[in-house]
Amino acid sequence: MELQELSRLAYDLRKDVVDMIVAGNGGHIGGDMSVMEILVTLYFKQMNISPENENDPDRDLFVMSKGHSVEAYYAVLAKKGFMEIEEVKKQFSQFGSKYIGHPNNKLPGIEMNSGSLGHGLPVCVGMALASRMDKRENRVYTVMGDGELAEGSVWEAVMAGHQYHLDNLCAVVDRNRLQISGNTEEIMGHDDLHERFRSFGWHVIDVADGNSIEQLCAALDEARRTKGCPTVLIANTIKGKGSAVMENKASWHHHVPSQEEYEQMIKDFMERKEALAV
Amino acid sequence: MKNRIPNRKAICDVLLEKAKEDKDIVVLCSDSRGSASLADFAEAYPEQFVETGIAEQDLVSIAAGLAHCGKKAFAASPACFLSTRSYEQCKVDVAYSNTNVKLIGISGGISYGALGMSHHSAQDIAAMSSVPNMRVYLPSDRFQTKKLVEELLKDEKPAYIRVGRNPVEDIYQEEDCPFEMDRATVLREGTDALLVACGEMVRPAYEAAAILEEEGIQTTVLDMYCVKPIDREAIIHAASSVKAVITVEEHAPFGGLGSMVSQIVAAECPRKVINIALPDAPVVTGTSQEVFDHYGMTAAGIAKAVKDVLSDE
């Protein structure tokens, strides 16, 4: 698919996410919206992963470290053919459902269970080490939230990634600048994030618009070309991206829209999609 | 003491031997290769060794990532840090994600006697046993440790193994070490009392049985190296033919072997159960042997506890 088509797809998937959250009566909607283009870019433009090769040891590996954005992850995995979107919408968060509120590797396409923050990057360090031991050419990716970076275990892994020169490892930070209690800079600031990663020996790429598939693609291509150290993308995204109802509002970290809000969101998604002429 | 080989060294010897053929064995340490007796492995197989530095959370998550990609990961770190500092990683990345990580808790219990509560792991059995999909093993001597690690290399499931720092007197022999996975080893049988012990408390429990025999008291002794899944059948069978049950463990008095045995006996064959364990308090300062002496966790102390409970009956 072309980049423009993928940008339009991201709005269709946003509708899937909101449907899921309304039906399941709960979900981390704000982060789902900010991370959407990151997931679409990874799954449709960058990673060698599909239902056909999900057991191939040479497949690219992905861990959704910010596991609470599972609704966006389900929507992308479904579009990729790992699961049926209508089944997900029907069963998400229902009693006894396998589609729970965080990633679970009993489901196809999901490598590791997550939900507790600060686990994805260290797990990916292990995966990247294993790939190197086996002399594989695959790459390992994770997406972290910016609030998540307050977890000390993240920085243990940042050290290890540098120590072992893991250039097959790429982390993406969904830098939407909001966490559940408010602005990240007021909770535990990260404004010097680039410098922090650089000082730990990582190659840092700032993605000015982290909701631009074109910019994300260029950055991930650069990461692929970067040798001798791991790469981190600081993807400057908008929490709640897609509708003015929720954009840049911390209160939408975990929130279920009313019928009125739902209708406005769907309208906004479609308008923005149509604005992206093919 | 005749034996000078600690159980941790027995683990390394098995891994050194098996790694000759199996390139998927990976050992991880958190600046703990010396205390884990794994320096020989690191030297012999540098490509199969990962040093994470003093970062126990990372140690466990990295091990899980390696295991997810087909490696047989052995993550070794002092039991005090492994079981509590990285508890969440053990729960989520190992047990919940079902990765083939064998967590090796070294210097377990009060091995680091005089170093204080920060360095004691008296909660690890309770912590690890309560996590679904986590198995818990405390081998008693070097020969059993060897058999256990050989068995664990055959499966792909998570497990926590706790061993002590110091050599313990042999219970078994190289050629005579009866071992069945997840089955307690019956060391002797008697009809007065049942002693159930795990890890390095098996030896004093076994010696206590000999003391008691001289006084005409016959005991069954179970080496319950498999604390989870615990051998219920062996406990019920043995407890049913005695007057009282005594458990012995190098652990806090709650949530460990004693709690589990008590639950089973209460439900299946009710009779008096006494738990010998460390106190619910920071333990007294001393070498581990001095500490054991202080709390009666010795052959003589265990024998006395058995006599006391029997005289109450």
Cβ contact A112–B64 (<8 Å) = yes
Cβ contact B53–A159 (<8 Å) = yes
CB < 8 Å to B64, chain A: 112, 123, 126
The chain A residue lying nearest B28, using CA atoms, is A126
Tell me the nearest-neighbour CA distance from B93 into chain A, angstroms: 7
How would residue A203 be classed by pLDDT, with cut points 50, 70 and 90? very high
What pLDDT is recorded for position A254? 92
How would residue B15 be classed by pLDDT, with cut points 50, 70 and 90? very high
The chain A residue lying nearest B97, using CA atoms, is A113
3-state SS of chain B is: CCCCCCHHHHHHHHHHHHHCCCCCEEEEECCCCCCCCCHHHHHHCHHHEEECCCCHHHHHHHHHHHHHCCCEEEEEEEHHHHHHCCHHHHHHHHHHCCCCEEEEEECCECCCHHHCHHHCECCHHHHHHCCCCCEEECCCCHHHHHHHHHHHCCCCCCEEEECCCCCCCCCCCCCCCCCECCECEEEECCCCEEEEECHHHHHHHHHHHHHHHHCCCCEEEEECCEEECCCHHHHHHHHCCCCEEEEECCCCCCCCHHHHHHHHHHHHCCCEEEEECCCCCCCCCCCHHHHHHHCCCCHHHHHHHHHHHHHHC
Cα(B123)–Cα(B177) distance, rounded to whole angstroms?
29
What part of B 60-119 touches A (C-beta under 8 Å)?
61-71, 73, 88-89, 92-93, 96-98
**By a Cβ cutoff of 8 Å, what residues of chain A touch chain B?**
57, 61, 105, 111-116, 118-119, 122-131, 133-134, 152-153, 156-157, 159-160, 163
- The 10s digit of each residue's pLDDT in A205-247 is 999 999 999 999 999 999 999 999 999 999 999 999 999 999 9
CB < 8 Å to B67, chain A: 126
Cβ contact B69–A163 (<8 Å) = no
- The 10s digit of each residue's pLDDT in B130-173 is 999 999 999 999 999 999 999 999 999 999 999 999 999 999 99
Query: Which of A58, A137, A153 has the highest number of chain B CBs within 10 A, making it the mutation to test binding with B?
Result: A153
Cβ contact A122–B70 (<8 Å) = no
**Contacts with A56 (C-beta within 8 Å, 6 or more apart), sequence order:** none
The chain B residue lying nearest A163, using CA atoms, is B52
**Average predicted confidence (pLDDT) for chain B:** 97
The stretch A249-277 carries a mean pLDDT of 95
The stretch A54-61 carries a mean pLDDT of 97
How would residue A278 be classed by pLDDT, with cut points 50, 70 and 90? low
CATH number at residue A73: 3.40.50.970
Which of B68, B88, B98 lies at the smallest CB-CB distance from A116? B88
The chain A residue lying nearest B71, using CA atoms, is A130
The stretch B20-25 carries a mean pLDDT of 97
ipTM over 0.95: yes
Cβ contact B26–A133 (<8 Å) = yes
Q: Is residue B108 predicted with pLDDT exceeding 90?
A: yes
- The 10s digit of each residue's pLDDT in B267-285 is 999 999 999 999 999 999 9
The stretch B82-87 carries a mean pLDDT of 98
Which of B47, B55, B66 lies at the smallest CB-CB distance from A126? B66
Cβ contact A125–B64 (<8 Å) = no
B107: left (phi over 0), alpha (psi -120 to 50) or beta: left
Counted across chains A and B, CB pairs separated by less than 8 A come out at 99
The stretch B21-41 carries a mean pLDDT of 94
Domains plus CATH for chain B? 7-162 (3.40.50.970), 185-311 (3.40.50.920)
The stretch B113-117 carries a mean pLDDT of 92
What pLDDT is recorded for position A191? 85
Cβ contact B89–A153 (<8 Å) = yes
Tell me the nearest-neighbour CA distance from B234 into chain A, angstroms: 34
What pLDDT is recorded for position A35? 98
Cβ contact A159–B50 (<8 Å) = no
Domain that holds residue A191: 3-275
What pLDDT is recorded for position A277? 76
How many structural domains is chain A composed of? 1
The chain A residue lying nearest B96, using CA atoms, is A113
